[in-house]
Amino acid sequence: MQLPVTPSMRLDGRRAVVTGAGRGIGLAAAAALADAGAEVTLVARSATEIQAAAEAIRARGGKADAAVLDVSHVLRVDAFFAERPAFHVLVNNAGTNRPKPVLDVSEADYDAVLDLNLKSAFFVAQACARRMVAHHVKGSLIHIGSQMGHVGGPNRTLYCASKWGLEGLNKALALDLAPQGIRSNTIAPTFIETPLTQPMLADTAFMASVVARIKLGRIGQVEDLMGAIVYLASDAASLVTGTSLVIDGGWTAE
């Protein structure tokens, strides 16, 4: 009897790019992809963080370089991808949040959150995919969404709007790019302890309310997402596209 062989989750020989890679989920994504054998380009606005991160990855035996880029500038995004060989993997991670009651939201708040979380995500994915198609490279686009792209949350009208929009964008990207062998998926985490969320989680009442909704009883850590990122990037997920991998400890199960 010939048994089926488990598809590999190794990424040797593949090039990956991670936006917002200097800290938090982006840093974890870069480390995970490098551990799996990918050559990773870490992208962020701050050179100091991504250079240090790339050095740490190389010290651990991985392949990594750093590139300063503000993904909110579409022309610079286009130039960044045009100047490099096509990537096999994109982790579309750069994002922000301005939690406040809906009656207090300003136009500046709206533009800051929607422009980065949705507009920039679109144009980064477009530029990456254009390069992949032009060079006949099949691969995986992974967008870091949120459980708030599947449910609502108080004081999070802008964040929810951007992450629900990302879910729709993801599905449409998957349909448009499937003929070229390019997959598109989101990862939708619950609250993960990162520099972005630490100020919110420092509020003991807020922390208690969050943990009460997470059925597994704890805040997420970036390590909880690393396996999912490698899976979606790898051949093990070769038939997975247009979906969302919800990593929420049970938050959205009820």
Annotated catalytic residue: which of 80, 81, 87, 159? 159
Return the SS3 of 143: strand
Active site residue 231: no
Contact criterion met (CB below 8 Å) for 206 and 11: no
Q: How far is CA 181 from the centre of its chain?
A: 20
Radius of gyration of the chain from its Cα atoms, rounded to whole angstroms: 18
What is the pairing mode between strands 89-92 and 15-19? parallel
Return the SS3 of 174: helix
Note the helical H segments in the chain: 24-35, 47-59, 74-82, 107-114, 121-134, 157-177, 198-201, 204-213, 223-233
Question: Which residues, in sequence order, are CB contacts of 1 under 8 Å at separation 6+?
Answer: none
Closest to 229 (Cα-Cα) out of 113, 89, 72: 89
Joined tokens for residue 246: 């919800």
Cα 41 to Cα 19: distance, rounded to the nearest angstrom = 9
Give me the sign of the Cα torsion angle 184, 254, 226, 143.
positive
Active-site annotation, residues: 159
